[in-house]
Amino acid sequence: MDIFIQIAYLAASILFIIGIKMLGRTSTARKGNFLSSIGMFLAIFATVIQVEAITLVDILICVVIGSTLGLIIAYKVQMTKVPEMVALFNGFGGLASLAVALADFWLNTQEKGLQVDQITGISVAISILIGGVTFTGSLIAYLKLNGKVSGKAITFTGQHLINLILLIAAVAVSIFALTDFANPNFMIALAILSLAIGVLVVIPIGGADMPVVISLLNSYSGMAACATGFVLNNNVLIVAGALVGASGIILTQIMCKAMNRSLINVLLGGFGQTSGGGNQADGPEIAVKEVGVEEAAQIFDSVSSLIIVPGYGMAVAQAQHAIRELSELCEKRNINVRFAIHPVAGRMPGHMNVLLAEANISYDKLIEMDEINDDFANTDLVFVVGANDVVNPAAKTNPDSPIFGMPVLNVEKAQTVIVSKRSMGKGYAGIENELFGADNCLMLFGDAKQTITKLVGELKEL
Ligand code: NAP
C-alpha cells in the first residue's frame, strides 16, 4: 500500500510540474490547469487512503463541502474581484498549514508523549510562523481590496520597530520551543505572534498595491505548506508547497520589475505609500482635444495599421467583446490589428490576456510590450481602452513621477492616439497623464463598452 501511495504522490508531483509549465503559455494554460487538477485529485486520493485518525466518511464530507464552496465562489466571482478571492484562498492555505503543524505537534508531544526530532520541531515552527503571517496578512489584503478596511497605508510611529521586536520575539519563542518540546505554550505563543505580525506587516501597505503583496503572500502560503510537508513527512505537500513558494516569488519579482519596485521594498513593508493615493501634487490642468464617436469612426476607417492597448478600464467596463467586434470589423477593412499587452495592465498578472481570450481574440494578436514597443512609431492609430499608467510617458521623462523608471508602452509615438475613458480620472498610481494633452491624442469620453459599441455601429454605416 505504501508503495502505491508514494507512486501516486510522485505522479501528482509530476502532473503539478507539467501543469505549471503549461500555465506559462496562454494556448496551453487550460490543459495545464486540467492536468494540475488531476494531480490534486490523485494527491487527495492517496492521502485519504493513508489517513488513520479520522474516517473516510469524515474526509469525504469535508471534500464535498470544500469543493462545492470552491465551485460556487469560482463561478460567481467577477474578473475584477479575482485578486481578493486569491487573497482569501492564500489566507486559508496559511491557516491550514498553521493548524495542521500545531495539531500534529500537540498530538505527538502532548497526547502521545513522544520526543520530536529537531528537524520536525523546526518545520513546525516555520509552518506556524509563515502560516500565521500568511493568514492574517491575506485577510487584511482581502479587506483592503474590498474596501472593508481603508485602502490607504495605515501607519504609526515606531511601526517598523514594533515589527522588528515581534519578529525577534517570534524567533526567540521558536528557539525556546525547540529546547523544551514538553511545553506547548511556546508554540502557542509563536502562533499568536505570527498572527499579529501578519496584520502589522500588511496594514502599512496601500490597498492599490495589494496585488503584489498577494503574490508574495501566495508564495508564503506555499512555503508554509512545504514546511508542513516536512512535519507530516508528506512528499507531495513538500513538492507542491515548494512549487507554489517558488512560482509566487518569481511572479512577485516579475510584477515588481514591471512596476519598477524593488522586492526588498515590498518585503520590508511600508510599500505603496507613495502610490495609489494620488499623493503627487497636481500640476496644471491638462488641455485635451475631444473626439466624438462619428469622427472617431472616420479615423478608424482611414487607417491601415491599428494597435489596441487595453487597460484596467476595459476590465471595469467589460468591453472585451465589443473590442473583438471592433477588431474584426477593422480587419475586414484590411486594417492590420494587433493588441499591445503591458505586463501589469489591469490589476493582476495576465488580466488583459484572460479577458481578451474570453472574447475569443486570437492569442497570436496579443503582443508583449517588449516585442511591440518599437512598432508604435510606424503605426497609424493607437486605440487606448481604459489604460492610463501603462501608457504614461512621465515614466520615461519625469524623474519626480512616482512611476519614473517603470517600462511603459510608447503609444505617443504613433501617428494618432485615441483614448477611451470616462473622464480625466486618474489611474492606479493616482497621477496625471500628459499623453492625454499631446498634439496627436484625442479623448473619446464615456464608458468603454458603450462607446465602442456605438463606434462599431458607426463603422458599419461607413
Ligand atoms: P490604470 O492606470 O489603473 O487606469 C485605468 C483607467 O481606466 C482609469 O484612468 C479610468 O479612467 C479608466 N476607466 C475606469 N473605468 C472605465 C470604464 N468603465 N470605461 C473606460 N475607462 C474606464 O490602468 P492600467 O493602465 O491598466 O495600469 C494598471 C496599473 O495597475 C499600473 O499602475 C500597475 O502598476 C498597477 N498594478 C497592476 C497589477 C497587475 O498585476 N496587473 C498589480 C498591481 C498594480 P476614468 O475614471 O476617467 O474612466
Interval 300-333: pLDDT, tens: 999 999 999 999 999 999 999 999 999 999 999 9
Q: pLDDT band for 258, please (50, 70, 90 cuts).
A: confident
Ligand 1 touching residue 443 (CB < 6 A):
no
Decide if pLDDT at 57 tops 50: yes
172-184 average pLDDT score: 88
CA atoms within 13 A on the CB side of 264: 0
Per-residue pLDDT reduced to its tens digit, 428-452: 888 899 999 999 999 999 999 999 9
C-alpha span between 36 and 32 (Å, rounded) = 6
pLDDT over 90, % of the chain = 59
pLDDT of 269 above 80: no
Nearest atom in ligand 1 to 351's CA: 41
**How far does residue 160's CA lie from ligand 1's centre (Å)?**
31
The whole-number pLDDT of residue 196 equals 96
**271 within ligand 1 shell (Cβ under 6 A):** no
pLDDT band at 280 (very low <50, low <70, confident <90, very high): very low
Distance (Å, whole) CA 178 – CA 129: 14
Residue 282 has pLDDT above 60, yes or no: no
* Ligand 1 pocket member 311 (CB < 6 A): yes
Among 64-68, 150-154, 286-290, 365-369, the range scoring the smallest mean pLDDT is 150-154
- Structure-model confidence comparison of residues 377 and 348, the more confident one: 377
The answer, yes or no, to whether residue 243 has pLDDT greater than 80, is yes
User: For position 271, what pLDDT does the model report?
Assistant: 44
Cβ 207 under 6 angstroms from ligand 1: no
The HSE-up count of residue 91 (CA atoms within 13 Å, CB side) is 20
- Residue owning the nearest CA to atom 48 of ligand 1: 422
CB of 239 within 6 A of ligand 1: the answer is no
Interatomic CA distance for residues 88 and 399, integer angstroms: 37
Over range 241-256, report the average pLDDT: 91
Residue 278 reports pLDDT greater than 50: no
Amino acid at position 113, single letter: G
Helix axes 210-232, 82-106, angle to 10 degrees: 30
Average pLDDT, rounded, for the chain = 89
Q: Is the distance from the beta carbon of residue 349 to the nearest atom of ligand 1 less than 6 Å?
A: yes
Q: Predicted confidence band at 283 (pLDDT cuts at 50, 70, 90)?
A: low
Considering all CA atoms of the chain, what is the largest pairwise distance in Å, rounded to the nearest integer? 83
**β-bridge partners, 381:** 306, 416
Band (pLDDT 50/70/90 cuts) for residue 259 is confident
Residue 208's pLDDT is: 60
Distance CA 10, CA 15 (A): 9
- Binned at pLDDT 50, 70 and 90, residue 338 comes out as very high
Catalytic residue among 282, 364, 370, 389: 389
CB 212 within 8 A of CB 251: no
Highest mean pLDDT among 83-87, 132-136, 152-156, 202-206: 132-136
Pocket test for ligand 1, best of 389, 403, 423, 447 (most atoms within 8 A of CB): 389
Ligand 1 centroid – CA 386 distance (Å)? 6
- Cβ–Cβ < 8 Å for 365, 352: no
Residue 279 reports pLDDT greater than 50: no
CA 385 – ligand 1 centroid, Å: 10
Reply yes or no on whether 389 is catalytic.
Answer: yes
What is residue 275's predicted lDDT score, i.e. its pLDDT? 43
Burial of 235 (C-beta count, 10 Å sphere; 0-12/13-18/19+) = middle
Q: Sorting pLDDT into bands at 50, 70 and 90, what band is 173?
A: very high
Stretch 49-54: mean pLDDT, rounded? Answer: 75
| Distance in angstroms (rounded) separating the CA atoms of residues 420 and 381 | 13
Q: Is 312 in the pocket of ligand 1 (CB under 6 A)?
A: yes
Residue 211 C-alpha cell reads as 496585488
Distance from Cα 33 to the centre of ligand 1, integer Å = 28
Ligand 1 nearest-atom number relative to CA 391: 25
User: What pLDDT score was predicted for residue 158?
Assistant: 86
Indicate the SS3 state at residue 444.
Answer: strand
257 CB near ligand 1 (under 6 Å): no
Lowest mean pLDDT among 144-158, 187-201, 412-426: 144-158
Grid cell for residue 204: 502599512
pLDDT in the model for residue 159: 84
Q: Which atom of ligand 1 is nearest to the CA of 428?
A: 3
Q: What are the angstrom distances between the C-alpha of 134 and each of 47, 121, 215, 348? A: 24, 20, 11, 19
Of the listed ranges 251-255, 262-266, 271-275, 377-381, the one predicted with least confidence: 271-275
| Ligand 1 closest atom vs CA 406 | 34
Weakest-pLDDT range from 152-156, 308-312, 383-387: 152-156
Written as nine digits, the cell of 327 is 477588431
Cα-to-centroid distance, 361 and ligand 1 (Å): 21
| Probe target for ligand 1 pocket from 274, 348, 420, 428, with the most ligand atoms within 8 Å of CB | 428
Torsion angle (degrees, nearest 10) of CA 7, 11, 13, 18: 160
What is the rounded CA–CA span in Å between residue 308 and residue 112?
Answer: 65
The mean-pLDDT minimum among 64-78, 161-175, 252-266 falls in 252-266
Indicate whether 167 pLDDT > 50: yes
Counting ligand 1 atoms within 8 A of each CB, the residue from 250, 252, 388 with the most, and so the one to mutate, is: 388
> Is 344 close to ligand 1, i.e. is its CB under 6 Å away?
yes
When mean pLDDT is compared across 115-119, 169-173, 268-272, 328-332, the lowest value belongs to 268-272
pLDDT recorded at residue 160:
84
The residue nearest atom 38 of ligand 1, judged by CA position, is: 347
Give the model's pLDDT for residue 266.
Answer: 64
Phi/psi-derived region of residue 446, left when phi > 0, alpha when psi is between -120 and 50, beta in every other case: left
The C-alpha cell at 335 is: 486594417
**pLDDT above 70 coverage of the chain, percent:** 95
